[in-house]
């Protein structure tokens, strides 16, 4: 009779199947600040599948000061999580790319023509520092394009130094960069100003992809429960078009 006390005040079931795939997740254990064990990877993949994803691309950090990941470390990790997911009976497709921090090492890799791990369509997921702007963001993005790749900037809404001149976002897009929003920015996980910028960028039509940027199961639980459906269903994210590539 006290059932109502335990009723979870949750909006309707989260269904992300219209997105098709997640393009940003830290689900390879032990190689960045994401999950630490294979069990945690499988737990996250299980949750992703139950949220409706049919495909996920693991994107470990490549940030030379902290995470010296290479195609080798990442693809070994991919093989491990694919096997564990199969053994757990999961059916979602799992691939790997990387989230490249734009540092000297990244520029060196570009210059040397080293292999970059990409999202479908030779898209390179890149991130910028959170605290201070890079002097040469624009040049580096041009450089990526000149090398035959397509830059996708991870969570543009989180670089608060851009807020003083929001026109920069449109300039990045005009330059050939695609922008990837984090789902949790639609809730208030990163704070009110990030949330506001996320909505502004959506309203301006500047966002191409949306990702979980999930590092642990709690992020997926928050995504499941946060107030995001209005935006997720009304904005034409392009994730599903990558499913076939």
Residues that bind Fe ion (CB under 5 A): 99, 213
In this structure, what token pair is assigned to residue 167? 């026109």
Residue whose CB is less far from Fe ion, 13 or 28: 28
Crossing angle for the helix pair 167-174 and 137-146, nearest 10 degrees? 20
Residue whose CB is less far from Fe ion, 22 or 213: 213
> How near is the Cβ of 183 to Fe ion at its closest, in Å?
12
Residue whose CB is less far from Fe ion, 157 or 213: 213
> How near is the Cβ of 76 to Fe ion at its closest, in Å?
20
DSSP-derived letter for residue 57 is: E
- The residues near 22 (Cβ < 8 Å, ≥ 6 apart) are 48, 53, 55, 56, 57, 211, 212, 214, 239
Q: How far apart are CA 100 and CA 27, in angstroms?
A: 16
Residue whose CB is less far from Fe ion, 178 or 213: 213
Closest CA to 182 of 150, 160, 215, 209: 209
Closest CA to 111 of 143, 72, 158, 73: 143
> How near is the Cβ of 174 to Fe ion at its closest, in Å?
25
56 CA to centre of own chain? 10
> How near is the Cβ of 2 to Fe ion at its closest, in Å?
42
Residue whose CB is less far from Fe ion, 24 or 228: 24
> How near is the Cβ of 189 to Fe ion at its closest, in Å?
13
Neighbours of 191 (CB within 10 A): 11
Residue whose CB is less far from Fe ion, 99 or 178: 99
> How near is the Cβ of 19 to Fe ion at its closest, in Å?
17
Residue whose CB is less far from Fe ion, 142 or 195: 195
The residue with its CB nearest to Fe ion is: 213
User: Do the Cβ atoms of 62 and 98 come closer than 8 Å?
Assistant: yes
| Strands (E) located in the chain | 21-25, 55-58, 61-62, 93-96, 99-101, 123-127, 150-154, 178-182, 207-211
> How near is the Cβ of 63 to Fe ion at its closest, in Å?
10
């Amino acid at each position: 009779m006290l059932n109502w006390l335990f009723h979870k005040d949750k909006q309707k079931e989260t269904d992300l199947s219209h997105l098709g795939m997640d393009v940003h997740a830290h689900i390879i254990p032990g190689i960045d600040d994401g999950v630490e064990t294979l069990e945690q990877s499988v737990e996250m993949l299980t949750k992703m599948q139950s949220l409706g994803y049919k495909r996920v691309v693991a994107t470990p950090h490549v940030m030379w000061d902290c995470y010296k990941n290479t195609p080798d470390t990442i693809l070994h990790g991919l093989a491990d999580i694919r096997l564990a997911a199969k053994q757990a009976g999961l059916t979602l497709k799992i691939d790997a790319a990387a989230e490249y921090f734009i540092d000297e090492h990244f520029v060196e890799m570009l210059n040397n023509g080293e292999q970059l791990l990409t999202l479908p369509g030779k898209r390179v997921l890149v991130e910028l520092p959170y605290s201070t702007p890079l002097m040469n963001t624009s040049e580096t993005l041009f450089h990526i394009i000149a090398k035959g790749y397509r830059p996708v900037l991870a969570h543009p809404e989180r670089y608060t130094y851009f807020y003083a001149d929001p026109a920069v976002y449109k300039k990045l897009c005009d330059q050939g960069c695609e922008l990837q929003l984090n789902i949790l920015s639609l809730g208030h996980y990163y704070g009110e100003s990030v949330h506001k910028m996320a909505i502004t960028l959506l309203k301006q039509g500047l966002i191409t992809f949306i990702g979980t940027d999930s590092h642990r199961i709690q992020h997926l639980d928050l995504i499941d429960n946060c107030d995001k459906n209005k935006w997720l269903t009304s904005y034409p994210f392009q994730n599903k078009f990558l499913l076939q590539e």
